Structure 1
């Protein structure tokens, strides 16, 4: 149930800093008296060490590998040599047993057997088992609660069994909740969904597959089809009320697990599990379809508005073609009129002499038309497109139950008006119909000559509906994107319970928090203002009222040395096929054990089939082509392996194994401490035509694509990746990688480029305990904010933008803490809540308060940026490390023209996981061979500067063969514990 790394976390002795060591391992006077009662120095030292360990960890000391510094600390207090502890451990077992029993009695500890564990702790842990879904956090809670109750443990097996029983109970309890109202008719309906559909020639096509079909084309037909599916699902009476009794985190986990299950796999399940899983799939599909309906509607609306604007510009251009000739006519007529007035003559004779009267009349009409176009609004063309929307709008508005904020309740009445208009084409808009939502350009079209135009009333409402859904003013009940904002957060009456379980890094009391922040900020401002005035800020100067930062020249010099050394080291590394890298790294890490069957939790028998699927995913090769390119293997067999063993979560677990191995390499310590990271997105073209989907991107136009957003540690380990839409801002997804990776990395500081920076992100990262240090392109144009506007900072005055709204933050402090706790506890995914917050209009007071907090941290960051050149170098280097992965990924993703051809998000996530995994394999393999090359050169007496070595990347790939036949030659692996010979060397041992 636990991975090897997770199990090790609980079994190993924790790392102690000096403060913790003194706090928990200093003997009190009564404890010294207990120790001195023992006979012999060895017994006294051993008894004292075990006393403090049991007191601190509530563990059996005999099962732990105790660090020497702990023994030394206790021995120093007794003035005894630490070596006596080994004498104690190798002494009589009777003495050790007696001491253990004596300590348990004095400390009030008890032991607990397997049956007692479940009996005594299940009441406490069952609510958490429903919430957590996975073993590791539940195990942590069990260990903490055992410590609180003074229940000592020695072996982890019984604890794992208890956690397994609890998770099994949680799964069955969830099934019971979902099936409580399912009768025989409902059971028959579910079974029918899994049978081949009679109307299809495809014997594998089921109604369940029909529900899951994606509708990517933005047109009325797609929306109508989706609404038909929703109507069908509505008739099934799905257990929505029961779903509310299941914690949100478990809901999302169950939804994720069910998305890749096919009918054949479902038919093989035990019937109660099958029924509950199908119900989950149908509810998840309902939510997905609901969101897709309004996403497609938004695309249709955007496309029609854009088409009207383009048509208007075309008409205007056509009208302007004869503009020069018409202006010449009016110039001539104007001269005639001026001269006729001067002379007192009849102007018409003069006009007849310069232009024919009919030509002049046509010219005036043309200019009138041109004038009309210059005052024109492209919305005037929308009325003729109403029929396009009415193919689905009535069905759309009638199917959903909308909710609204108090201020937007009239909009719900407007929806009812439009629904009635749809029933009677001749009906006029009632005089008391709500008009509050009509604003901007729509106003002059909706209300014309004091009357409401029905067509424009409906068009305006359909356009406004999209914007209000995104802004959170209108919400839907069964939606993931558009549900009520309160539903994203922990309930107001229980969130503080979660806060105790997931404490934050800031004071709960607002006054304490604010005073601490303002005090630290004032100190920073004073220091930077003084140093700037004395020209003591390295590479920083004030220029035209803006702070300008120059690049450090020393970095350029070191970079040149690193290039020369890197070329030499890589010249020693042997040429190798990607297949051999995969085989060799697996012998180091055993990563294949993490690719377990989704239902049976067992590993694959033929590991070469697994390798082939991973390689196909990572190199963008189809499974059919992989079946031809690798050792003789059946395509259907590879498809089975992919569906059952290779998923986003299995890639994550295997990725964590690689990261943990990579982090422990000595050379990795030169690249960084593993506490810093950077993230960036890399865009890949998509084979799908965007013109069919209605997608338009400001940065990339109509060229379709997806972005793989990756987090990389300062040790060149890509520890997290996810697929995001190319038109989404990177900032929404930063926290996901920091919170949801499964490796042993403990990131404390994170870096992005400008696209990852918003003030809301500044606030959330810092409140969650991460320091945020983005590289902001136009930093010199940003202003800082000060605690007290009355206090002057002479040299910084030109970059001061204002003060803080303390009262605003104070009013929303509890909601801010609830928001952050909801993220930290896993109740809501960070990217989901950030996307929702970013869609709010500025008038949302919670977002405004969060931005105000973000300004505090952004100001502190800017002051650090100006005053700390070392930080600037670290930020730049970490971003460079992330960007270096882009070239490697392009090389690895070599098939299919490097285009993403998967149409489902699940398949794209699996593709991204495979690509990230292969790049991680390469980084780890290169790192170990670079380490061997350095060791070889140093053994020959060469001096290699660690600082120069720290600038050499393990991401070069000229020596790696990515294409050709993929043959798995395990017989060519180097002997255990050895590496392949370096170029020019007979042998290179690690």
Structure 2
């Protein structure tokens, strides 16, 4: 029988008990007495009755239940209400003393006069209807109970026993499950249901089931693995299932069910009742079909990229190999040319002059050799691609036969070319017809495609697939069933929803939505700043800035850290307790309870044995892997670790755990020495891809020749890494905004710093529209032109910096579309990184991309002008970036196994590695923060002079006192807690 309990003991106490402490804002919200209430209260006899009556009203407001008999009311509530009634708080001691009937009578009077209701069948039905849409989005029991209790408080429904509330949430959740199951299996025929059940059986010629086959990772980039992806896509297509059924199911629920389908064993799934089993398999197929479709496109791009890279490499090799011969020919023809020039000037026979240098026969031979050495006039590598046509044909036709493409008007001719090529492949024709569409091709292709004897099929196909990749990235073409490559319109808020937001004045942006107001404000601000900087340049008053020959040179920032800080840091760290990483993780969990966020995918319960959970997290964070972690952990097996990893370790759980630790760090008083949590920075840390190259790994010349990927981390000004992404090592800029929007912390970031890699107009624009101040470091001004609303006649000293004028007409024409796009990012309809990549891939003339760029130019110009004027801004950015860069050293020390290489093939496993690493770093930062605070107090108590202004320079990123290696033993019974911290080491300071 299913349990109808959704909450843990701790959660029940949380919802029904008044907390020991509340902030002033919450106290005012819940415990301020209204005039109407005051009139009723004052009618009660005696101070004790008035105070008790008022407290009963307060309790019904929050936590929403009646005051129990003989319940001890927290002092802050008694004092807050007594002050408003002008009654001594001690009067509460005489309330209902020995007569509980008084309390009950008062409760009845409050219900009848102030509109509070008891929980009856009528309220049950009302709340069940209200809760159902929420239960369709999430089945997390505590979230449903929390939503229900919040709504009951709003409706003045007195909370019944907590188990009754749980029962409502449980019943509604069951109803939502059945409704979702029916949505996913709608219109399934008997035959299709049989096909779904067949997925659990062993496939012909395989040792595992069809379902297990579909679950297999795609592997590294290769033609063989590309065809394996196509095999699975075509297998799902042949099932002919209504995969569109998933559109009616909320994406969170669909993803959860898909994950369950990917985790449950065949035996477990076969024991489900038929409706649930078929719905779970449908959710899995919907998810895996989109995932495989995206992976196929990504692998296509990688295969195409490799082919082009090989052509380019061959081109360079040819040039290097022939370099000596080319040089000899250049020197020879320089002599010949000089001789011919002299012959003309002296009116001599040019042929005799030529033969004085080289014989005619040798000259003819050298010309023939020069023709062989010569590369195309464009000096590109496209003429070498033909050597790879055989390799290209191993995967290109399969893509066309498997995928269904759609196109916008801008890509219509490319779509026609694809359809024509598909037909040619199917019919076995060899020639491309003369009427084949051409205008989608870039000019560089024409000389290779159009030959004297007609269209060169090889190069025509190369051109088609090259442009297909470009158009898929921009969104001008899309693939049916894809998640990453779909119609651009589908990424945005629906037009009806957008219209509603505008009509209700609920556009979730921080800028004026009126275009005239926006442009006027920015024009006035820019004009003011241009005039100011123009004046400062004229009078050579820009601080620490020199301008000569139209070049800007900014002096290096002066050192602001006192020399004594280094010795002070060593002294403080010398008294911190020595600790094993395992004990540190357990201790931080006892403070923050981050482990409670790692709940079971299906039951939403916490693991019974936390030591296994901690070991799995540690395996991710130190890059050890589950198998070797089992060897290093006594009494923990690989099977236990694998089960915990499969069912409890997920991206969203890591995000919530990072949020819990970050929030604790943010509220801990000592952290304020480093910042108030309103600023952050982000930076990528490169890790080599060990073994076979990961699909995400790329070569970045900045990091050497080996392929790798980046852990792109956002870190607060209090040293807390609160968000991490695994990205290609060459695409940091699009991911900047993700970390500002999608973290699970209480931080309210206002200003964000990056290095020069983030200096992108689109990011400037979107940050401004979303309410973030984007502050990247400016390293050079040679390419950093500013843009003005008017011609620079009024600012002659800035003319050398001005690259053009802002296209206000373009902004006006596309203003509504731009607001809709940015609102879509804010509302989570699409991620910022995905939409920025799409816009960056658009052709330059695309109106929406150009409009966002123009907004970015406005903000970048304003920022550049401030950078020139403000040493404080330059220092603030540098300090913020230094914190992130300092974290990299600790990351390398922690992530030391497997040579610090990423050897996981799947993105999910890579992200778990990155998240585990950041969680360990964050735990170390918090632990250090707490004990550094104690160390400072202890040292001061011993007479050590520690100036307050020095503490901002004491970093919590040290790790010399932490044992990172050895056997990993989990002592969950250790007595250390936040109220019982470890003793500091004794250290006698050296007196100077």
- On whether the aligned pair clears a TM of 0.5, the verdict is yes
SS of match in other structure, 1:493:
helix
Runs of 5+ consecutive residues of structure 2 not aligned to the other structure: 1-5
Is residue 587 from structure 1 mapped to residue 593 from structure 2 by the alignment?
Answer: no
1:489 Cα deviation after fit: 1.9
Change in Cα spacing, 1:908 to 1:107, as seen in structure 2 (3 Å) is same
Aligned partner (choices 805, 816, 831) of residue 833 of structure 2 = 831
1:837 Cα deviation after fit: 2.8
Q: Is the 8 A contact 1:756 1:774 kept in 2?
A: yes
Is residue 186 from structure 1 mapped to residue 192 from structure 2 by the alignment?
Answer: yes
Change in Cα spacing, 1:35 to 1:182, as seen in structure 2 (3 Å) is same
Q: Is the 8 A contact 1:573 1:933 kept in 2?
A: yes
Q: Is the 8 A contact 1:902 1:908 kept in 2?
A: yes
Give 1:101-500 correspondences, 5 Å limit.
Answer: 108-113=115-120, 116-131=122-137, 149=155, 151=157, 162-197=168-203, 199-200=205-206, 205-255=208-258, 258-261=261-264, 263=266, 266-267=269-270, 269-323=272-326, 358-371=361-374, 377-423=380-426, 427-449=430-452, 451-495=454-498
The whole-number CA distance in structure 1 between the counterparts of 2:144 and 2:759 is 34
Residues 494-520 of structure 1 show CA distances to partners (whole Å, capped at 9, x for unaligned) of 345578798624367425852784387
The whole-number CA distance in structure 2 between the counterparts of 1:644 and 1:681 is 29
The whole-number CA distance in structure 2 between the counterparts of 1:362 and 1:882 is 63
Is residue 555 from structure 1 mapped to residue 555 from structure 2 by the alignment?
Answer: no
Change in Cα spacing, 1:164 to 1:760, as seen in structure 2 (3 Å) is farther
Q: 2:894 — aligned with what? A: 892
Is residue 598 from structure 1 mapped to residue 601 from structure 2 by the alignment?
Answer: yes
Q: Is the 8 A contact 1:691 1:702 kept in 2?
A: no
Residues 901-945 of structure 1 show CA distances to partners (whole Å, capped at 9, x for unaligned) of 111111112222221121122112212211221121222344433
Which range moved further: 681-690 or 780-789?
Answer: 780-789
Aligned partner (choices 624, 628, 640) of residue 625 of structure 1 = 628
Q: Is the 8 A contact 1:403 1:476 kept in 2?
A: yes
Q: 1:924 — aligned with what? A: 926
The whole-number CA distance in structure 1 between the counterparts of 2:13 and 2:490 is 35
SS of match in other structure, 1:773:
strand
Q: 2:3 — aligned with what? A: none
1:899 Cα deviation after fit: 0.9
Residues 787-808 of structure 1 show CA distances to partners (whole Å, capped at 9, x for unaligned) of 6769956876765666644454
1:702 Cα deviation after fit: 4.8
Q: Is the 8 A contact 2:215 2:262 kept in 1?
A: no
Change in Cα spacing, 1:42 to 1:715, as seen in structure 2 (3 Å) is farther
Which range moved further: 238-247 or 922-931?
Answer: 238-247
1:563 Cα deviation after fit: 2.2
Which range moved further: 687-696 or 356-365?
Answer: 687-696
The whole-number CA distance in structure 1 between the counterparts of 2:721 and 2:727 is 17
Q: Is the 8 A contact 2:531 2:795 kept in 1?
A: no
Change in Cα spacing, 1:103 to 1:690, as seen in structure 2 (3 Å) is same
1:568 Cα deviation after fit: 0.6
Change in Cα spacing, 1:363 to 1:801, as seen in structure 2 (3 Å) is closer
Q: 2:980 — aligned with what? A: 978
Residues 205-228 of structure 1 show CA distances to partners (whole Å, capped at 9, x for unaligned) of 332232233444444333333222
Which range moved further: 279-288 or 819-828?
Answer: 819-828
The whole-number CA distance in structure 1 between the counterparts of 2:11 and 2:567 is 38
The whole-number CA distance in structure 2 between the counterparts of 1:5 and 1:878 is 38
Is residue 569 from structure 1 mapped to residue 572 from structure 2 by the alignment?
Answer: yes
The whole-number CA distance in structure 1 between the counterparts of 2:341 and 2:768 is 74
Which range moved further: 285-294 or 447-456?
Answer: 447-456
The whole-number CA distance in structure 2 between the counterparts of 1:351 and 1:708 is 64
The whole-number CA distance in structure 1 between the counterparts of 2:541 and 2:100 is 65
Q: Is the 8 A contact 1:299 1:695 kept in 2?
A: no
Residues 17-58 of structure 1 show CA distances to partners (whole Å, capped at 9, x for unaligned) of 69x969995966x77766655555676677778879989x89
Give 1:640-719 correspondences, 5 Å limit.
Answer: 640-690=643-693, 695-697=698-700, 699-700=702-703, 702-719=705-722
Q: Is the 8 A contact 1:608 1:968 kept in 2?
A: yes
Aligned partner (choices 837, 840, 844) of residue 842 of structure 1 = 844
Residues 54-83 of structure 1 show CA distances to partners (whole Å, capped at 9, x for unaligned) of 89x8956969999999998988887x3674
The whole-number CA distance in structure 2 between the counterparts of 1:959 and 1:176 is 57
Which range moved further: 260-269 or 581-590?
Answer: 260-269
1:547 Cα deviation after fit: 6.9
Residues 858-879 of structure 1 show CA distances to partners (whole Å, capped at 9, x for unaligned) of 4454455556655544433332
SS of match in other structure, 1:631:
coil
TM-score by length of structure 2 reads 0.86
The whole-number CA distance in structure 1 between the counterparts of 2:448 and 2:646 is 54
Which range moved further: 719-728 or 905-914?
Answer: 719-728
The whole-number CA distance in structure 2 between the counterparts of 1:337 and 1:864 is 60
Which range moved further: 928-937 or 100-109?
Answer: 100-109
Aligned partner (choices 888, 901, 904) of residue 903 of structure 2 = 901
Change in Cα spacing, 1:438 to 1:589, as seen in structure 2 (3 Å) is closer
TM-score by length of structure 1 reads 0.86
1:534 Cα deviation after fit: 11
Q: Is the 8 A contact 2:814 2:851 kept in 1?
A: yes
SS of match in other structure, 1:420:
helix
Which range moved further: 849-858 or 967-976?
Answer: 967-976
Q: Is the 8 A contact 2:694 2:904 kept in 1?
A: no
Q: Is the 8 A contact 2:256 2:601 kept in 1?
A: no
* Number of matched pairs: 975
Runs of 5+ consecutive residues of structure 1 not aligned to the other structure: none
Is residue 510 from structure 1 mapped to residue 510 from structure 2 by the alignment?
Answer: no
1:94 Cα deviation after fit: 6.1
Which range moved further: 158-167 or 7-16?
Answer: 7-16
1:358 Cα deviation after fit: 4.5
Change in Cα spacing, 1:749 to 1:112, as seen in structure 2 (3 Å) is farther
The whole-number CA distance in structure 2 between the counterparts of 1:908 and 1:490 is 31
Which range moved further: 741-750 or 474-483?
Answer: 741-750
SS of match in other structure, 1:494:
helix
The whole-number CA distance in structure 2 between the counterparts of 1:69 and 1:513 is 47
The whole-number CA distance in structure 1 between the counterparts of 2:618 and 2:267 is 26
Q: Is the 8 A contact 1:538 1:869 kept in 2?
A: no
Change in Cα spacing, 1:785 to 1:834, as seen in structure 2 (3 Å) is same
The whole-number CA distance in structure 2 between the counterparts of 1:707 and 1:463 is 26
The whole-number CA distance in structure 1 between the counterparts of 2:110 and 2:916 is 52
The whole-number CA distance in structure 2 between the counterparts of 1:464 and 1:727 is 21
Q: Is the 8 A contact 1:680 1:753 kept in 2?
A: yes
The whole-number CA distance in structure 2 between the counterparts of 1:655 and 1:71 is 36
1:657 Cα deviation after fit: 2.8
Which range moved further: 926-935 or 787-796?
Answer: 787-796
Residues 131-150 of structure 1 show CA distances to partners (whole Å, capped at 9, x for unaligned) of 45656776676566556655
Residues 778-830 of structure 1 show CA distances to partners (whole Å, capped at 9, x for unaligned) of 36864555567699568767656666444544443433343333333333333
Change in Cα spacing, 1:68 to 1:843, as seen in structure 2 (3 Å) is farther
1:676 Cα deviation after fit: 2.7
SS of match in other structure, 1:720:
strand
Q: 2:937 — aligned with what? A: 935
Q: 1:756 — aligned with what? A: 758
Q: Is the 8 A contact 1:604 1:610 kept in 2?
A: yes
Change in Cα spacing, 1:46 to 1:440, as seen in structure 2 (3 Å) is farther
1:567 Cα deviation after fit: 0.9
The whole-number CA distance in structure 2 between the counterparts of 1:595 and 1:602 is 8
